[in-house]
Amino acid sequence: MVFDNLEKKTGVKIDDISKLAQSLQGANFRDEKTVRNVIKQVSSLAKKPVSKETEEMLVNTILNDKMPKDISSIEKMMGKKR
């Protein structure tokens, strides 16, 4: 039931999410190339383009271990309002 709702809300199949999650196990998130590839994979999977500016911000945030801990901080970082 939860997975069905997730698929409907995102348009992404649970199998695709599972495959992505498995491919990320053991990934080196200190490596810039890996981080950029993950961003591209997620963007492609979600069918949501990521601008170069947003990609740079995400890469720098991840590499510098400054990921927000809650959704409101993430939305603020991305310039979105609830």
* pTM, 2 dp: 0.72
Burial of 7 (0-12, 13-18, 19+ CB in 10 A): middle
For 33, what's the count of Cα atoms within 13 Å in the CB-facing half-sphere? 0
> At 81, is the pLDDT very low, low, confident or very high (cuts 50, 70, 90)?
low
pLDDT in tens, 10-59: 888 888 888 888 988 888 989 999 999 999 998 998 888 999 999 999 99
Q: What residue spans define the domains of the chain?
A: 1-79
**pLDDT of 39:** 92
